[in-house]
Structure 1
Amino acid sequence: MTNDGFPQRIVCLTEEPTEVLYALGEEGRIVGISGFTVRPPRARQEKPRISAFTSAKLDAILALQPDLAIGFSDMQADIAQALIKAGIEVWISNHRSVPQILAYIRRLGAMVGAAEKAEAYAATLQARLDTVAAAAARLPRRPKVYFEEWDEPSISAIRWVSELIGIAGGDDIFPERARAPLGRDRILADRDEVIRAAPDLIIGSWCGKKFRPEQLAARPGWDAIPAVRDGELHEIKSPFILQPGPAALTDGLDTLHRLITAWAARHAEPCPA
């Protein structure tokens, strides 16, 4: 790749910049990726893995001679600090909402000289969101949804997941928690809050491990929850929904909408005779 004045050797410390750069046809700029990257699948074959989420192989990163490292959130502050001290330029984004994910795509595209491609890509994703929202508006009923992203302690949905639940046709039972900036603010100190909220649908996405519906259903008093009583306990794999990038707006949203639509069909009011 010729030097066009934009970053030429990018290290991606999380999956979403990798997925975006591949989608924009700018993957040639990537020299290292997160070990948690699964999208696109070929990235794992083409790029060396140099970090986890809260730790990184500093020597391996420096050996790649990056001119930019891209990460996400306060959780990667220590990695960012080490790279900055080593003289590497670092961009740590902190996008938490659906509009912010779209803005992130546009900013990242502009940073690599692909602003027009990024704008077109963001517009395609927005159109997909609009299509799903229009379909959701036609559902006969909207379920109350509890989304759990970790089990011990129980942590409820982050902001973009809460918003996607709404777009897909459901209502997050803890929308106020979803707006909190830090994960610790979404910890349920009292699981009885879920019992009192009586969700119709429970979706587990235990970040990095398999969702165990039988363990969730066995929690004291949870047999009274409509979702538990009706067997409405479902999983969305965390790479599809807990990365603040294209995956959440595509596969994540589609899975949410499929689960909610199926619930609405099973619980539609019968037609009068």
Structure 2
Amino acid sequence: MTFCRTLTQILLTGTIAVASAAHAAGITVHDARNRDVAVADVARTVSIGGAITEILYALGLESRLVGVDTTSLYPAAALHDKPNVGYMRQISAEGVLGLNPTLILAIQGSGPRETMDILETAKVPLVLVPETFSEDGLIEKIRLVGHAMGVDARAECLSAAVGADLAQLRALRAKVKKPVRVMFVMSLQNGRAMVAGHKTAADEIIQLAGAANAVDDYDGYKIIGDEAIVAARPEFVLSIERGKESLQADAVYAHPGFALTPVAANRSFITMDGLYLLGFGPRTAAAARDLSVKLYPALADPGGAFTSALSAANCRQ
């Protein structure tokens, strides 16, 4: 009797395992390379990109993860529990393929190019997830990752929750009468500021928060001089927390360029967690809302009317 029950349990477990491995069978994903990628097995997935990892955990798929990159900082269990394949822009092909993955999900911009070339020629399906810094781009990122993993219903659940939070953010943003000018500074290198222009995550998060990017004459990141800083007239400097490499408020206020702007006069320096602020994962609406309240304290709601649909949703099953 006990033997029969044990045998039944083994067979049932085996059936579940086979069903899980085959869940994504027959799926085709159109990725950032404008290619169709056939996905047959998601049982051993490697995630390269913090937003991808965050989405996978939000969808309850962490058991299928066999490796993550160093930008996978949320949830903390990701880097703690999973093998680390390195920084997303300095990935080792051997480190990834050594985990015997059945699927690789990598955010657009992962590299170096030599590594991506090797991964593309390997027999393991590689899905390059588009990185579009917009509300629509965020929703599509969630849907694509969910589709690749064979959990479209869960992805729609997560997309709906994130969409609701973005809608709530739009309502908050509508209350802003005069957008403040914000300059995102990645670092100060030999006294020169590395600053975000258009077509960056920083530019979009500033706009989502109801502010204006003080830089409007170039795309991407660029080192600018003191005269350009003064001419941009920033009212706030925004940066990210990077441990010992974090930009410090006193360094900004003492900088010759920023000293001639309202940033120094008003001591208006804001720093936030990097993945939270710039990751464009499920928590992006919350990050933009937090930034908005820092920029516009009058928008803070002491009554707690703003409730996150994401925190209330269960999209893990």
Alignment of 1:136-147 (within 5 A): 136-147=173-184
Residue in 1 aligned with 2:169? 132
Residue in 1 aligned with 2:93? 58
The count of aligned residue pairs is 258
Quick one: distance in 1 between partners of 2:293 and 2:235? Answer: 15
Deviations 1:73-112 (A, max 9, x none): 3341333222224433222234132221211111111111
Q: 1:232 to 1:189 in 2, by over 3 A?
A: closer
Quick one: distance in 2 between partners of 1:255 and 1:192? Answer: 31
Candidates 150, 156, 164, aligned match of 1:113: 150
Candidates 187, 201, 207, aligned match of 1:160: 201
Q: Give the root-mean-square deviation of aligned CA atoms.
A: 2.4
Quick one: distance in 2 between partners of 1:94 and 1:188? Answer: 26
Answer with 91-100 or 193-202: which moved more.
91-100
Shift of 1:142: 2.4
Confirm whether residue 21 of structure 1 aligns to residue 50 of structure 2: no
Residue in 2 aligned with 1:248? 284
* Seq. identity, %: 20
Candidates 209, 213, 220, aligned match of 1:172: 213
Confirm whether residue 217 of structure 1 aligns to residue 265 of structure 2: no
Shift of 1:217: 2.2
Deviations 1:11-46 (A, max 9, x none): 112211111011011222211001232101122232
Which one has the largest radius of gyration? Answer: 2
Deviations 1:222-258 (A, max 9, x none): 21111221100111121212223224333x2132122
Candidates 24, 40, 48, aligned match of 2:75: 40
The TM-score with structure 2 as length reference comes to 0.73
Equivalent residues of 1:7, 1:68 under 8 A apart: yes
Residue in 1 aligned with 2:137? 100
Quick one: distance in 2 between partners of 1:21 and 1:161? Answer: 23
Equivalent residues of 2:169, 2:285 under 8 A apart: no
Quick one: distance in 1 between partners of 2:298 and 2:217? Answer: 24
Equivalent residues of 1:162, 1:175 under 8 A apart: no
Amino acid at match of 2:148: M
Residue in 2 aligned with 1:230? 266
Equivalent residues of 2:110, 2:116 under 8 A apart: no
Equivalent residues of 1:165, 1:172 under 8 A apart: yes
Quick one: distance in 1 between partners of 2:187 and 2:232? Answer: 18
Candidates 166, 170, 188, aligned match of 1:151: 188
Equivalent residues of 1:132, 1:257 under 8 A apart: no
The TM-score with structure 1 as length reference comes to 0.84
Amino acid at match of 1:239: L
Confirm whether residue 80 of structure 1 aligns to residue 116 of structure 2: yes
Quick one: distance in 2 between partners of 1:203 and 1:37? Answer: 22
Answer with 81-90 or 130-139: which moved more.
81-90
* Structure 1 alignment gaps of length 5 or more: 266-273
Amino acid at match of 1:174: V
Shift of 1:259: 1.0
Secondary structure of the 1:132 match is helix
Shift of 1:191: 4.0
Residue in 2 aligned with 1:257? 292
* Structure 2 alignment gaps of length 5 or more: 1-16, 26-40, 301-317
